[in-house]
Amino acid sequence: MKLSVAIFFGGLFGALGILLFLVAFGTDYWLLATEAGRCTDGLNDTREEITYHHEGFFWRCWFAGSIDENTNSIWKFWYIYRGFWSVLLLLGVVTAIFASFFIICAAPFGSHVLYKVGGGFFISAGILFTMVVVMYVIWLQAMADLDNYVTTRKTDCPDFAIYIRYGWSFILAPVGIFFAMFSGMLFLLVGRTIHLHSN
């Protein structure tokens, strides 16, 4: 009885983790920003401007244009970096799919090996998705040239201000990671329990 409850919750948490990954990485609200300031068009033409931006996981950031276009090395690094986290994301999705496949195959046979392999794949998917989220945070905090963007905008808007926060898509990713890791641990425990009782 306890084993079937653990299998049920492991499957539920695994499905929730995969669903949250797909929603998080498939929507474009990872970064939310608000720009505000008084801007001048001509000598006396002043207008108050408030602009809202949102960025998805795969799309180029709206303030990336502030980087000098002549610095090709920055752009090359940018595309390699984004390419790398996209590869990690793809590996995480494939790993989560394989985890589900192993768990589905393990259920009718009660194979402790398949439960353990499925649990290991869920944990691996969680680790890969954790690396993706950490890379995104590092990019936003350390590599995005936000200061240059603000300086450029202040030439037209002297009291320009920008407010940036993580969006709901970003918040869903760590929740999905938690569910995937917890599911993986439950399936490892189920596999170990089946193995102990079969001997």
The whole-number pLDDT of residue 118 equals 93
Of the pLDDT bands very low, low, confident and very high (cuts 50, 70, 90), residue 32 is confident
pLDDT tens track for 114-159: 999 999 999 999 999 999 889 888 877 776 667 777 777 777 777 7
Q: Would you state the pLDDT for residue 170?
A: 86
pLDDT of 9 over the 60 cut: yes
Q: What is the mean pLDDT of the chain?
A: 79
pLDDT tens-digit readout, 45-56:
566 666 666 666
> Does residue 85 or residue 60 have the better pLDDT?
85
**pLDDT at residue 66 in the model:** 41
pTM: 0.78
Write down all domains in the chain, each with its CATH number in brackets.
Answer: 2-198 (1.20.140.150)
Q: Check pLDDT > 90 for residue 177.
A: yes
Can you give the three-state secondary structure of the chain, one letter per residue? Answer: CHHHHHHHHHHHHHHHHHHHHHHHHHCCCCEEEEEEEEEECCCCCEEEEEEEEEECCCCCCCCHHHCCCCCHHHHHHHHHHHHHHHHHHHHHHHHHHHHHHHHHHHHHHCCHHHHHHHHHHHHHHHHHHHHHHHHHHHHHHHHCCHHHHHHHHHCCCCCCEEEEEECHHHHHHHHHHHHHHHHHHHHHHHHHHHHHHHC
Q: Tell me the pLDDT band of 43, cut-offs 50, 70 and 90.
A: low
